[in-house]
Structure 1
Amino acid sequence: MDEGWREDRVASALRGENPAVLRRLDAGFAVLAEAQFLPGHALLLGDDPTVRRFAELPRERRVAFLADVDRLAGAVEETCRALDPACSGVDVELPGSGGPVAAVWPRYRWEPVDLRDRSVRRYPEERWRDPFFALGRGHDGLRSALRAALDRSAEDGPAGA
């Protein structure tokens, strides 16, 4: 598969051509992020490529999106804790632009002390671009475990039910 999917991640997901997609959820696509320096870093991408901001979604779609964020965050935390006991939880970020997107960051006790309890955005740029941490075949086990956790969460019904 060519790398053109990166030009429009949502449109390529809708066409079934985005290899980072874990699962289609109610209001978007759960995907593994390309930078995996915190293993399990995942995103929820809104499923309408014409919407540029979360606030542009109708209320019912915003609520569905947030329910999907909850589902993805639960799956990431469950998976990362099972794969690495040093996982201490997850952070969730909803940036204001770039389309409806949410980032789910697993956090680990092995992170540098000066970064462990701070925004992941404080990590040096080199970490984000380092090919060593790039999403690839070495993440297939993580991908499978996250898909299984997402599938279990669908069987459990809506959060809080």
Structure 2
Amino acid sequence: MTQFNEDWKSDRIGSALRGENPLVITEMSSGFAVMGDTQFLPGYCVFLPKKTVESLEALPMPERTAYLSDASLVGEAVLRATGAKRINYSIYGNTDAFLHTHIFPRYHSEPPERISRPVWDYPAEHWKSNDDSYKEEQHGLLRDKIATALTQLMEEAYLEKDV
């Protein structure tokens, strides 16, 4: 994997558009599927729109519909690639004040006290720990599986639109 400096993190959407965001899995019609910075829940992804807006409501309805549809395809790809129990979707924008969707696989193997709670309740060390951060050598195979599943799902979804 090409070495990138950390500047891309200050403009995740712009860096994806410029091909400088190293976590991009693939470009979709309305945005970019990217691996999450942390992988304590393997397969965690984020969906970024192609233009920077503050919230989902800032998108015109056709773009909003495409964005949500594409985010759901990312979730389905993660589900297929990981065998997770389910997918949780989160759109907040409180810390990073731009539209983006968190896509979290949830696993049967999670501790019982965690599985029924939002992922944000996991201890802070999971979010900041280098041990849990995305590493190509550790997570690259899963990233490839997600990309393969997503390519197949996009082909199916876009074919359905043409029918």
Rounded to whole Å, the distance in 1 between the matches of 2:28 and 2:116 is 30
- Whether the aligned pair in 2 keeps the contact of 1:32 and 1:42 (CA below 8 Å) is yes
What does residue range 95-110 of structure 1 map to in structure 2 within 5 Å? 95-97=92-94, 98-110=97-109
Identity %: 32
What does residue range 37-116 of structure 1 map to in structure 2 within 5 Å? 37-49=40-52, 51-81=53-83, 87-97=84-94, 98-116=97-115
Q: What is the identity, as a one-letter code, of the residue corresponding to 1:59?
A: M
User: Secondary structure of the equivalent of 1:26?
Assistant: coil
Tell me which residue corresponds to 2:32: 29
Q: Which runs of 4+ in 1 moved over 3 A?
A: 158-161
Q: What is the identity, as a one-letter code, of the residue corresponding to 2:152?
A: R
Please list the CA deviations of residues 37-75 of structure 1 after superposition, one character each: whole Å capped at 9, or x if unmatched.
0000001011112x1111111111100001101111110
- Whether the aligned pair in 2 keeps the contact of 1:70 and 1:159 (CA below 8 Å) is no
Distance apart, 1:159 and its partner CA:
9.8
Q: TM-score, structure 1 length as denominator?
A: 0.91
Tell me which residue corresponds to 1:122: 121
Q: What is the identity, as a one-letter code, of the residue corresponding to 1:32?
A: M
- Whether the aligned pair in 2 keeps the contact of 1:67 and 1:159 (CA below 8 Å) is no
Q: Does residue 1:15 correspond to 2:12, yes or no?
A: no
Tell me which residue corresponds to 1:84: none
Query: Considering only aligned residues, what root-mean-square deviation do their CA atoms show, in Å?
Result: 1.6
Q: TM-score, structure 2 length as denominator?
A: 0.90
- Whether the aligned pair in 2 keeps the contact of 1:43 and 1:103 (CA below 8 Å) is yes
Distance apart, 1:92 and its partner CA:
1.1
Alignment size in residue pairs: 155
User: Secondary structure of the equivalent of 1:8?
Assistant: helix
